[in-house]
Every structure is written in structure tokens, then in C-alpha cells.
Structure 1
């Protein structure tokens, strides 16, 4: 069974029905949906992405990338080289769980929370935590501009319910995950996109913190080399498959290419046991879903 742990619901790009169609086409059994944070963003070419991944993977050069991806306007937009992108302070969890209700056997839902949003993050969790498709909380300290320690009330609630927290880290204090992880050692924390923007330097720090995991989603952030190094460092028991769809590579029909994302796992990790762990087992153990 293949479970995609990281897929955004962006109806203007791909409808819920289209997601199911693609899942059927590419043999994806289940997908965990996340509310979109912003509209479509034009992805840079692979050459530039490779340079950025390389620079971010080194402590001495990471600062060279930050000015290009970590600038924000007073209106809350992230300012990228190709323009300003508005960021939603309260991503639409209701749309996610409506989609899950339509396809309860195929879809799960992450509940997006933001300590700096208009909705109280713990109350937002409480709104969805009894839904049969709820698998945990999602947070984006990078684009919502707060240190992970601000998620302590969220972490406490999730810990009480034995549900994980999926986090996209940022630079500096917005990427300081260790205090939160140590304060809640039972809480399972998943770092999106292999722990971007820290990669290897962070993997070494979390090696002895068994409650921290990595998802391997997003071709923009995670190439085959990074996947291989991540699994070699932490083991397949602490890594899981995700795509970051519908953003990323396209197939011949112009839709998100699930096949490409799967083949990267199969080619990089030919061992069937490792594939099963990445595609299914780690997700099930983290979320408690069957």
C-alpha cells in the first residue's frame, strides 16, 4: 500500500475528484490532505533548485539563500524572486475535511494551525480532532513567522491525543525545533521536506531524538541524494513518503506526476522492505491509522 503523507488541497489546481483519479491511475491507496497556504507558485528550474539545496545543506552557505526566500511584506506576503505571494493566515481546514467526508476510505486530513492567525490554534484542533479522518496538526513556522516553541499549547493537545505534528521549518528562530521536541518527548514531530532548510546539520542533532521524523516530500526541496542521505542517517523507520502535490512535476496530461515521485523512492531504495516502510509502515505507526 502507498500512502501520500503530504498533499495540499488546492481546488484551483486540482479538484478532489481529480486527486482521486490520479491516485487510482498511479496506485496511491490513501492521501493525507493539507489546506493550501497560498496560490500557485512558479517553481524555479532544476539548476537553480540544486544550487539552493546545496547551499542550504551547509551551515556556512545557508545564509546566502535566506535573502531570496525569507523576505516578507507588512501585509504578510512572502516576497520571492518572481514576485510577492499572499499567505493565508488561516488555511481552510473545513474544505479539507469536507473532501475527507466525500472519500473517507481514501483521504485523511491534517488540521492546519497558526498561533499568529485569527483562529485559536487549540480550539481549531478541538474542532477537528474527533473527525474519523483527522491524523494530526500541521504548522508552518516559516511563512507564518513564529518560533516553533509558540506551538507548545498545540503540542500539548496533540500529545494528549497521541497525534503527530507536521512542521515546515524556517530560518533562524523559525527553525528552532529542538526546544519543542525536548519539551514533548512523546509527541511525534514530522519535519516537512526532509527538514528544509537545515537538512544534514539538523539530522545529526535529531539523531538521538526518536520522536522526530522526516517526510521526503517535494521535488523542489528533496532530490534523490537528499532522500538517500536522510534515510541513511535516521533509518527508514523515521522517514516517510510524501509528495507536496499538486505542486511539482507534471505528467503527460499536465497533471501532477505521482509516478515520478514514486519512482524516486523505488529507484533510490530498491529493497522491498525499505519501500514498504517509507510508503506505508512509518505513516501508520506515527498516526495510528489502519
Structure 2
């Protein structure tokens, strides 16, 4: 089973399906988005979409209404092919605990989504997301939390996230993009922490993939981060770099299947 553990919702359903078919995917974990670089036809249009992304990743934009609309669009897409698509929903950070609990109940659990993400925030703002950890720690349903750990986050932020994972050990935390350029220290620190998983999309280079998979054979998860990455190329990279068939099967889908209970 091959599961792409992280794709953003594309505006065109046919385009999303064609990418999946080309890569030989059995399931796709879809994330909501308000940015659509795949629709850009010119460099100027692409730059405008990237500016929106930059504002989200830096925490400048955290729009509630846009999040709700993107979740609704995600749920609508999943309903067209519920056996193929699995959904993660966004959650605003910085809310009070009760507000966070209400959001997760209304916009994640009630929508039958299987996790929370992608969470992106400014460097130095890790404490602002702790209420999400608090709620998930006590939630009856296990909802993995997917956090963007590439730029602009630094190693100090990653260390704080690791501390939160240790504090809230029931929370399944996915380090999106494996800590970026800080992947080596990130990997060394999370090896002994069983509730942290490492997503290998947008890897700093091809080298981390093999080492992360070997160090975390049951906690390394494959994804493409489409449209920022290509599912076919991401799949071929795993096939090329991981020669052990059992390990490759874990990375390409079995780890995600177990994590999401699908």
C-alpha cells in the first residue's frame, strides 16, 4: 500500500487524481489550503501565491474564515472519494483551551477528519500552540498533529516542540519536512521519543531520507507535499534510495496506515 501522507488540496480534482494515478498511490492524505501555486501561469502569478504562503508560514496571516472555507472545500473533496482520500484539518493557534477544544470538536472530529495540520507559525511562538497539545492529550480519539518544521522555524523551535511531545506523550506529532536543514539534530533527538514521526517531504537533500528511514523504520512517513512536490518523483526517490523491501513498504504506506488506523 502506497499512501501519500501530505498533499494540499488542488483546485482541480482531475489534476489531483492524475498526479495520484501517475505515482501509483493507493490513498492520499489531503490538507486544506488557501494557496494555489499550481494555478499560476506566469512568474508574477506564482510570486503572488508564494507571498500568501510566506505570510501564512510566518504567522502574519491566521484567518479564521479562510480556514473554515478551506476545511469545507476539503471535506467536499473527500466525499467524492472517501475510500481514497483521508483528511487533516487546520486549527488556529493562540486560542484559549476551551476555544481550541470547541474548534477541534466542530471542525476536525465532526467533519470525520483524521488529524490536524498543517500548523505553521513564526519562530519563537511554540508556546502559542500548547493548547492544541493539551486538548489532543485528553481527546478520546487519537488525532495526529502535523507541524511545519522547515523554514522559518529554527532549531530552538524544534527543541521546544520536542519538549512538548515529551510532555504530552499521548499526542502523535509529525515533524513535517523533517526539520529542514536541522534534520540531523532533529533526528538524533527524536529517535528515543516514540510519539514523534518524521515526514520526508521537501527534504533538505536526498541524503536525509535514507538515514531517517533507517533510524525510524516505523516512524518515517512518505509524502510529496504536492503541489510543492511531485508524487511520482517522491515515490521514485524512495524506491531508489531504500533497497530493503520491508523498510520501503513501511515508509511508503504501512507506517501511515498504522498511524491513522486505515
TM-score normalised per structure 1:
0.72
3-state DSSP class of the match of 2:227? coil
Aligned twin of 1:105: 83
In the alignment, the residues of structure 1 paired with residue 210 and residue 180 of structure 2 have an alpha-carbon distance, to the nearest angstrom, of 15
Of 204, 219, 225 in structure 1, the residue corresponding to residue 207 of structure 2 is 225
Specify the alignment match of 2:105 in structure 1: 126
Q: Does 1:94 align with 2:72?
A: yes
Aligned to 1:21: 18
Alignment pair present for 1:165 and 2:177: no
Q: Is the 8 A contact 1:166 1:190 kept in 2?
A: yes
C-alpha offsets along residues 201-227 of structure 1, whole Å, 9 cap, x if unaligned? 121112211111101112xx3432011
Query: Compared with structure 1, are the counterparts of its residues 78 and 258 closer, same or farther at alpha carbon in structure 2 (3 Å cutoff)?
Result: closer
Equivalent residue, structure 1, for 2:33: 36
CA distance in 1, matches of 2:235, 2:94: 35
Shift of 1:24: 2.2
Q: From the superposition, tell whether residues 208 and 137 of structure 1 become closer, same or farther in structure 2 (CA, over 3 Å).
A: same
Deviation at residue 156 of structure 1 after TM alignment: 3.1
**Paired residue for 2:182?**
198
CA-CA distance at 1:86 after TM superposition: 7.7
Maintained 8 Å contact 1:142/1:171: no
How far has the Cα of 1:152 moved from its partner? 2.7
Unmatched tracts of structure 1, length 5 or more = 43-71, 249-256
Q: 1-side partners of 2:20 and 2:192: how far apart? A: 35
From 196, 200, 207, the counterpart of 1:212: 196
Deviation at 1:113, TM superposition (A): 1.2
CA distance in 2, matches of 1:174, 1:23: 33
1:122 Cα deviation from its structure 2 partner: 3.1
Secondary structure of the 1:196 match is helix
Partner of 2:225: 244
**CA 1:107–1:116 in structure 2 vs 1: closer, same or farther (change >3 Å)?**
same
CA distance in 2, matches of 1:139, 1:259: 22
Contact 2:31–2:118, Cα closer than 8 Å, also in 1: no
State the Cα distance separating 1:18 from its structure 2 match: 2.0
Indicate the SS of the match to 2:114: strand
1:180, CA displacement in angstroms?
Answer: 1.0
Structure with the higher helix share, 1 or 2: 2
**CA shift for structure 1 position 174:** 4.0
Unaligned runs of 5+ in 2: 41-50
Q: State the SS of the aligned residue for 2:236.
A: helix
Query: Could you tell me which residue of structure 1 aligns to residue 48 of structure 2?
Result: none
Name the SS for the 2:182 alignment partner.
coil
* 1:114 and 2:78 aligned: no
Q: After TM superposition, give the deviation of residue 288 of structure 1 in Å.
A: 1.6
Q: Residue 55 of structure 1 corresponds to which residue in structure 2? A: none
Q: Structure 1 residues 79 and 192, CA, compared in 2 at 3 Å: closer, same or farther? A: closer
Answer yes or no: is 1:283 the counterpart of 2:256. Answer: yes
Across the two proteins, how many residue pairs are aligned to each other? Answer: 237
